[in-house]
Amino acid sequence: MVEAQSIVVPPRPEIAAGARIGSMAEYERLYRLSLDDPETFWARQGERLTWFHPWDVVFDHDYANTDFGWYLGGRLNACYNCVDRHLAARGNQDAIIWAKDEPGEYERISYRRLKHEVSRVANVLRAHGVRRGDRVCVYMPMIPELAYTMLACARIGAVHSIIFGGFSSEAIRDRIIDAGARLVVTANEGLRGGRRLRLKETVDRAVDGLDQVRTVLVARRTEAEVPMRPGRDHWLDAECRTQRSTCTYEWMGAEDPLFILYTSGSTGKPKGVLHTTGGYLVYAAMTHELVFDHRPGDVHFCAADVGWITGHSYIIYGPLANGATTVMFESLPTYPDPGRYWQAVDDLGVTTFYTAPTALRAVARAGDAPVRAHSRRSLRVLGTVGEPINPDTWRWYHDVVGEARCAVVDTWWQTETGGVLITPLPGVTPLKPGSATLPFFGVQPVLVDDEGTVLEGRGVSGNLCLSRTWPGQARTVWGDHERFRETYFTRFPGLYFTGDGCRRDEDGYYWITGRVDDVINVAGHRLGTAEIESALVAHEAVAEAAVVGFPHEIKGQGIFAFVILTMEAEQADPRQLQGALIEQVRRVIGPVASPDAVLISPGLPKTRSGKIMRRVLRQIAAGEYDDLGNLSTLAEPAVVEGLIAAHREMAATLAPDPPPEVS
Ligand code: WT7
């Protein structure tokens, strides 16, 4: 326990906002300080924000109850920090540049206008009864109204829960129920790569018969008319016109919830990861500044969707807390051609660019010409996130996109971490293609073997854990604190377990080797195999299912489903059935979880105690039949032969993949 104290921040100009870290020696010195004297270090960082009331305690942690708190006693408002406080110095500066689906179409929103738009939406929410602490579910395309809605929630102390557009109505419904939301914000349609996404229709199916939802606000992205249920559904633009462009903000406690974001794990339904206000915002702002070497006048383009944590932290909260200009990209990297990113870079003078390896692989396969067609002169820092980046793609990014003059920052983090934890500092950290390099300030990675023994020193591989709390750490799983403890803190007592495998090399650099649990990472999106399996077995034709990841040229990992049919279904046409099962997963979870391959299987490899040997399935799915290792524990070794034969036959008939849609 840290004793309550009033805020005393010793002068340490070198770690204040805006200070540059100029050398490795400086990084090492400050990193040491962040671990040796975290109170001083983090108190300094807290000053990045404007507080209405100072904190008493910089941080507190109680591993026994998995209770973490930052800037306790402090009061602030996230929206005020992202919008209002910038008006005096940069009211006319662009806060958001909206890059619309059609190339060359942009809309600029100044900080002043942002304040007015956000205030109107906040007033609309209040008018519909949303109060401090209430949850608001949001299912929207990449349009400015999405940013307004998030910030409006933050302004009035409501907790937003954004649901990525690739999730189905069933997935939306589950999240609305779990979060206990009474109001949902959506749009009539979205536009992406020239196609229309029928979002309102999906929301209608999600809330149909769900009395809990009293209000659906509908932003207008296209001219399309959609059915509006009287009393429940309202057009957001019409509602905003009746509201003033000024709105008071709540004084929130540092530990009051800011948002919930659902993410998949090894078991059960997705968890509502909860982030709170003060620590999260300090950490998002600090990492955005240091990881991207943010400077006044920069144009920051994070190409993720706001529906994922990357978009929360590095499109909205981090950049706006720093008074930056941030780009919201509505389209696809390949629309209308694979030069789309670089055209936007030139059109807008983008300085810092951030995307997933999957998107880079998707555009790199078109060769260098679409890159060279644009100057990219403004670029300074190139970031990647979401999945391991293969060294070839890293080099292409560095040499071709960045012309060897931009730093590439491979940033490792998770929904639960709120912000980047392992990353190079651009221009400072010597880079190694494929390594996320070194821990950020205050972060203490620990590698442990499966028995929980800490692996000291260099040249070791193990399970990646974190032994310190940091301000951006998730505080709980919404409505289920025991699940939070159980998921992250019981596998290795006293440590936060990330679920990732990792190697620390001879230079102390970290190399993330991928998930060691039953989570797969498809195109930088995280999915639980158990979730997909339960969607499959809910289909009447399926008796049993096992899902694994397999290497995919563009997406990193693809989804491979082994299914065993019920007796009645065995006569069905296998092609048709495969299509129906893919459709089933799209219906239950959404297009993001669409299996790349469904193999109707004669059996599953199980141990005598009935446990599925996933290792064997992963090898078969990858077509690596030759060295299946020790199979002596299998109950029925013949199953493996049958599976190999079925996989061979399938591989022979599989058509080459169409290029995937990546976000
Ligand atoms: C998982 C977290 C963090 C925002 C996007 C994903 C993988 C993330 C890297 C990286 C290798 C990475 C990990 C992690 N991951 N960044 N730079 N190198 N792997 O957030 O959906 O919560 O997924 O993504 O496996 O655990 P998420």
Residue 421 Cβ inside 6 Å of ligand 1? The answer reads no
Ligand 1: which residue has its CA nearest to atom 10? 412
Residue 393 Cβ inside 6 Å of ligand 1? The answer reads no
**Structure confidence at residue 3 (pLDDT):** 46
- Ligand 1 centroid to Cα of residue 430, in Å, is 22
- Ligand 1 centroid to Cα of residue 429, in Å, is 20
Taking the domains of the chain in order of start, what are their residue ranges?
78-89+104-258, 519-653
Are 299 and 58 in contact by the 8 Å Cβ rule? The answer is: no
Is 519-653 the same fold as 78-89+104-258?
no
Residue 628 in this model has a pLDDT that exceeds 80: yes
Residue 619 Cβ inside 6 Å of ligand 1? The answer reads no
Q: How large is the average pLDDT for residues 452-459?
A: 97
pLDDT digits (tens, 9 = 90+) for 263-293: 998 888 999 999 999 999 999 999 999 999 9
Q: How large is the average pLDDT for residues 123-141?
A: 98
Return the best residue to mutate from 417, 435, 511, 526 for the ligand 1 pocket (most ligand atoms within 8 A of CB).
Answer: 526
Residues 6+ apart with CB under 8 A from 302: 310, 311, 314, 315, 319, 326, 327, 353, 354, 355, 383
Ligand 1: which residue has its CA nearest to atom 18? 388
Residue 311 in this model has a pLDDT that exceeds 50: yes
- Structural domain 78-89+104-258, CATH architecture: 3-Layer(aba) Sandwich (3.40)
CA separation for the pair 497, 503 (Å, rounded): 15
Are 380 and 351 in contact by the 8 Å Cβ rule? The answer is: yes
**Structure confidence at residue 409 (pLDDT):** 98
CA separation for the pair 577, 99 (Å, rounded): 40
Residue 307 Cβ inside 6 Å of ligand 1? The answer reads no
Q: What is the CATH number of domain 519-653?
A: 3.30.300.30
Q: How large is the average pLDDT for residues 29-33?
A: 96
DSSP string, 465-530: EE-S--TT---EETT-HHHHHHHHHTTTTTSEEEEEEEEE-TTS-EEEEEESSSEEEETTEEEEHH
**Mean pLDDT, the chain, integer:** 95
Give the DSSP H or E segment for 87: helix 87-90
- Ligand 1 centroid to Cα of residue 306, in Å, is 16
Return the best residue to mutate from 384, 408, 500, 502 for the ligand 1 pocket (most ligand atoms within 8 A of CB).
Answer: 500
Q: Which residues pair with 196 in a beta bridge?
A: 191
Structure tokens at 590: 């959404």
- Ligand 1 centroid to Cα of residue 364, in Å, is 21
Structure tokens at 591: 């297009």
Return the best residue to mutate from 309, 413, 431 for the ligand 1 pocket (most ligand atoms within 8 A of CB).
Answer: 413
pLDDT digits (tens, 9 = 90+) for 322-342: 999 999 999 999 999 999 999
Which band of pLDDT confidence, cut at 50, 70 and 90, is reported for residue 1?
very low
